[in-house]
Each structure stands twice: as C-alpha cells, then as structure tokens.
Amino acid sequence: MGDSLKERVALVTGAVGGIGRAIAVHLAQEGAALGLHYLVEPDEVAKAFLTEFTQQGFRAKLYKADVSKFEDATQLVERVIKDFGRIDILVNNAGITMDRTLKNMTPDQWEKVIAVDLSSVFYCSKAVIGQMLERGYGRIIGISSVVGQKGNIGQTNYAAAKAAIIGFTKALALETAKKGITVNAVAPGFVKTAMTGQIPKEILDKIVETIPVGRMAEPGEVARAVLFLADEKSSYITGQVVNVNGGLYM
C-alpha cells in the first residue's frame, strides 16, 4: 500500500476479468480512483466485485459498455470523466479469444476478435487522448500477448490483434512523447484466468512444459508491470513492450 497514485484517476477495461481485477487492485492500492469497466460478466458478479473493492477503502465506480463499438467506448470515457473529473491512466485490457485454425475460422470470428481486442484500443485511446493532451499528462497501457510476438496455432485472429497493439503503442508513443504522455504495452505469457481456462488441460500441460519458469503466471504478476508503467516516475519509458512471460519469448 502506498500513495504514489493518490491524485490519479484510472480506467481499466475488462476490470472484472482475471487480469483486469488484479490491475485494478494494484492501482487502487497506490491510491488511484478507479473506473471499473466490464461487459460479459453477469451484473451481480460485477457489483459484488465493486462492493469487495470499495469495502477495502478504494474509490471506484462500475461501468458497463461494449468497447468494441466506437460510440459505446466514447460514452464510457465521457461517463468516467464526468464522475471523476479526468482520466490519467487508461489500461486497455478487455479482450477475447475465438480460436480456430485459419481453415475453419469464419469472417465473424476474425472480425469479432479484431473489434474487441484491437479496435477497442483505438476507440478508448482516441476518447481519452484529447483531455490528456490538454493537461499534458497521461499513461496509456495496452495488454498485448506473447501470442502477438511468437504466434500460436489456432489464433491468427488473436495474434494479429495483439501484434497490432504493439505497432499502435509505438506510433502513439511517438505522437505524444513531448506531451507528458507515455504509451506502453505489457505482453503476458500464459496467465491463470477464465481465458486460459478454456484451453483443454492436456494442451495447457504441454504449453507449461515449454515455459522456462515452469508454470503459468498469476494475474498479479502481470498487474505489477502495469503498475510500474502507470507510475508518474516511469516518464522516460515510452513505446515499450514489457514481457511478463516466464521466459517463453525473449
């Protein structure tokens, strides 16, 4: 617990999912006020998380929106700014997988993953950037993936979206480098969440055998990297990808 983010307002997309929750808790423990965004979880699950969160003394509000749609993402950002006055830290964490080999992948499965995992990053970043530029301060952090760096069978859609987040990060970092805004990405390896829970155990066991550290990551291990990049003092780190992958890709 600290107060390094005491004056800061953060919006985390997908904040009721596995990694999102850990990111929200890490930022709140440093004093940030949190916009907790969700979509797919039942409302009761999201509300229970908010209750658990605020009972620890953290400042937070819950927002439901489909960030794969431009209007919804823009409205989400507007609502958070209305409630908290501004957004200093945006964590583009919402994401899905729809795994199929290319031969079997439908255009819908391609488009859906690109919309949720990639277009949402453009929509939310675009919606916050104006006020960050005006105030001369901002931290934008995207959650990429090791799959965007080294590929993975059955994930052409997901790998394309996650690799594109890295290009987006570097381009926006250049555009905003002189304006007090840093733009970075965190690329996790395989993390214990509902997303990897969809992978059959025998395949997961085989994946774990290839991880040098010999195990999957805990969500908090990814959140630590996000917190580091979100810090005001990380102002000289921009356009970077921080790999949290147990040595799976170097």
Active site residues: 158
State in angstroms the smallest separation of the CB of 63 from ligand NAD.
Answer: 10
Binding residues vs ligand NAD (CB under 6 A):
13-14, 16-20, 38-41, 66-68, 93-96, 116, 143, 145, 188, 190-191, 193-196
Q: Which amino acid is at 121?
A: V
Question: Which residue, 138 or 188, is less far from ligand NAD as judged by CB?
Answer: 188
State in angstroms the smallest separation of the CB of 213 from ligand NAD.
Answer: 14
Inter-axis angle of helices 120-135 and 70-84, to 10 degrees?
Answer: 40
Question: Which residue, 53 or 190, is less far from ligand NAD as judged by CB?
Answer: 190
Pick from 129, 138, 15: which is nearest to 65 by CA? Answer: 15
β-partners of residue 188 are 244
Q: How far is CA 74 from CA 69, 120, 125, in A?
A: 9, 10, 9
Q: How far is CA 86 from CA 34, 82, 148, in A?
A: 11, 7, 31
Question: Which residue, 24 or 132, is less far from ligand NAD as judged by CB?
Answer: 24
State in angstroms the smallest separation of the CB of 217 from ligand NAD.
Answer: 7
